[in-house]
Chains A and B, each alone.
Chain A
Amino acid sequence: GCGNGQQAASTRPLNDLYDFPPAGNVSLLHITDHHGQLLPIYFREPSINLGVAEMNGRVPHIVGARMLEHFGVSHPSPASHAYSYLDFTALSQEYGPVGGYAQLATLVKRMRDQRPGALLLDGGDSWGGGSGTGLWTNAQDMVDAQLRLGVDICTGHWEFTFGADRVMQVIENDYAGRIDFLGQNVRDRDWEEPVFKPYTIREINGVNVAVIGQAFPYTPIANPQWMFPDWSFGIRHDDMQRTVNEARAEGAEIVVVLSHNGMDVDIKLAQITRGIDVILGGHTHDAVPAPMEVRDPDGNVCLVANGGSNGKFLGVMDLDFRNGRIQGYQYRLLPIFANLIDADPEMASYIDNMRNQTVTYDGQTFNMAERLSEELAVTEDLLYRRGNFNGTFDQLICDALMEQIDAEIAFSPGFRWGTSVLPGSPITFEHVMDQTGLTYPAVTRNGMTGEMIKFILEDIGDNLFNADPFYQQGGDMVRIGGLTYSMDPTQTIGNRISDLALNGEPLQADKEYIVAGWASIAEEPPGDTGRKIWDVVSDYLQDHQTISIREVNTPRLRGVDGNAGLSL
């Protein structure tokens, strides 16, 4: 495939990107939030990622030029393209696609060769949300890829949306003896006993390293609880402290948390918990070039990193552990430019064969690669999702919902996965599945009063902008079609949303409006139309053939002037 890198190499010195000689004696390789992306893709980082309260102006709530300046990254450069949205289309054309598990495999091998004993940690959301082959193979696509890559330890979030039985089946069979699935914060609902192993201790070059797993604390709130009815989650920071103490008592010299909390939660956890050296985090998909040095209550430093998403990065952390303490560290969040790294032949052929399988899903039998390659329309504009409010692909989904389901208003979830499509490109069924592929795809149509709509927006707004990160769920604001509004993220629940209007008319509290949506977390979603979101979006694309996103429906923002999470 894509190993020559000629186009990029001719314009910029890229190969030294991967020239990262090891230092120290304990190395950790970190991947997270692949969302089932096995092939190279495009993924635009956010131009809006607002921080409120103490998070205002703090990493990861700095975007664009200010973020690059903060980390000393020049622009344009491969690094600025990987970490920011700036000149996204032009630089995508110049540097080519990012990610790809075969390219990742090559880079992992290289890093491991240089760093004997390095552990490969997978922070969860490896299985789709956001993948056709994930959905159709029941995540076997990623399970086999993780095993081939040599993942040592993982934790989870979207993994749970394949159901408790499937998760346990993989852990007890595929992963058994090869990958440790850890989660200190998951308990059975009856007796509150641990469901998963909380931590493991591995010896790396004579140093005992404990890795504690932290699954996404709000999985039963953000995703369908009925799929794992016997499991309770939560941050459980007291139990985290107990687990750290237990690991230390057992001889751990370095304590690492492999976390799916999201970065703001990880920072607070590091501030209040004694004895964590490193948190390798995910969930919020923040592509953070350097870890944050957070002081614990005893004044010791905990390094908090976050590894981006969709397969764009490999995090490499080298620790120099001598005389009973970490004397120093180095870290890179290495971007994976598919054109610069030779695909690992074994992984590439695995992916190719896997995608070429014939599967049966929902009563239809088809070849996955064929089905995914179907071109449904052409886009004139860049399509992307990531950001606090509607991206262009979200706008497309909202437009599709309103038109196909005959609704005045559309709600689309603020997921942080979903790949980007460059202007002038065909929109394939794979792109649609990247944005919509999940295990609860029902499209709904319901009457909702203005009052109810306001209540829901306030509730979701608080999950995103609560001043205390422990009360945040780590997604983005629900994407909205039709309805316009103003928002002040710095306010409290009940006071953030105002000026709700439909077609220029103020929303009436007691009037009922028709609202289309998808990804209801209810077992029997109210107003289920019997249609699936990817079919609705595909039908819309085929009806229109050419897509241009004239206007993206984002709220008028208040209270965030000068906020570094807002592009200048």
Chain B
Amino acid sequence: MGDNVLEIRNLIKTFPGVTAVNDVSFDIRRNTVHCLVGENGAGKSTLIKILTGAEQRSYGTIRLNGDDYVAHNPKDARDKGISTLFQELNVVDQLTVAENLTLGMEVTTFGFLRNVGTEKMIDVLKNLEPSIDPRRKVSTLSVAKKQIVEIAKAVASESEIIIMDEPTAAISEGEIQRLFKIIRGLRDKSVTVIYISHRLDEIFELGDAVTVMRDGRHIDTRPVSDIRDRSELIRMMIGKTVFEKYEPKENPSTETILKVEDVSNDKLCNVSFELRKGEIIGFYGLVGAGKTELARAIYGVDRYDGSITFKEKTLESSPHKAIEAGIALVPEERRSEGLFTILTIRGNTCVMNMDKISRSGFVNNQSEKRVTAEYIRQLNIATHTMEKETAKLSGGNQQKIVFSKCLFADADLLLLDEPTRGIDVGAKSEIYQIIRDLAHDGKSIIIFSSELHEIVNICDTIYLLYEGVLKERIENGTVIDSEKILHTVTGGE
């Protein structure tokens, strides 16, 4: 057997309109902790999905121990020796720890369970974490311990590679240290770990080697010891992205439209900021930093302590009141939360403000058509008819329809949660232009995004979020140090 447990060559994965993984080749050495880093959309998760069998590659080869490797589904991958610790854990809460460990590998006589083989599994678990009682029900364990049960199961079923997708996202500091100890111990058990995390410190603490990806491409793979510090890693992650030029507003308004004071809930911690009329502000942070939660709090979906004042009135905590007051949310999950995908463009455009086109309960079809045609023209929606089902449109055009919905609702404040996710480059710049035009027309806009260049590109003021806390406020127009920003949002002090 060679030194490499996994060899990836010329891997390509294309989705309609997007190349998620673009000619990626690298090796993973046996019995190491191999980290995979990159910004959101860099192609990490697609790569992992191909390894676990959730997606099929478009082109390229993967060799596991020198043999060609293809997985048709996660079960298949597991049988071939690649187990995955998904973020949504795959343990059965209602069974005991021991039952979970042996699940699918029971020894039986005429269908009756026998207590053979359980010992070996339990020994593996005891070895990893003696404090877990195998007779306990899994539902009584913490997230971290459930992860350990899953790791034990993977080790016991002789997996060669365990992929861990942000395993520290939902567990506490003490538990993270315990988990790291276990991960380090796996090297001695002939297990290779592919470790994905947004927390760069963890890479230096845990990793043997690191692969950096950016925009679907493989940037570099090298031993962690060869990387000098965080900033070098960050430079590899963001590369020399050329930002479109940000142009400051000529005469900014001084009228404050939104005032958020000390907003806290279980995901947010004392968030305060102000927004002026016609201003675009952006919240940048990684997944789980609290961006969506902040948007939901302002929109009144989630409860919070503290106060939010909009147009000099305290905002009540309910989406209905928010819409009435003139706030609209463009949600992150466009297909499931932003659109009625089975309805046509016409059916979607006016839906947030039907009163405006109806009289005593009857919808005026003529005005509905007029309004829809007007937005199709204004936002340049590419369609030949307004009767097209929105499900059949491209991501960019769908997003424009969500925008027109909000505009028709007479919103003065637009909350945009990841406004360009899953949208191709050309449509992205169109969306940016729409956002700029809206601000020019006096709409105030808050963008929540995990794409730095997007924030730097269009926002007048940038706020950095990490773990629900506002870390920094940056006025755009000055020199933006993107390395420093990434340092902050990955937990650096």
> Is chain B a partner of chain A in the same complex?
no
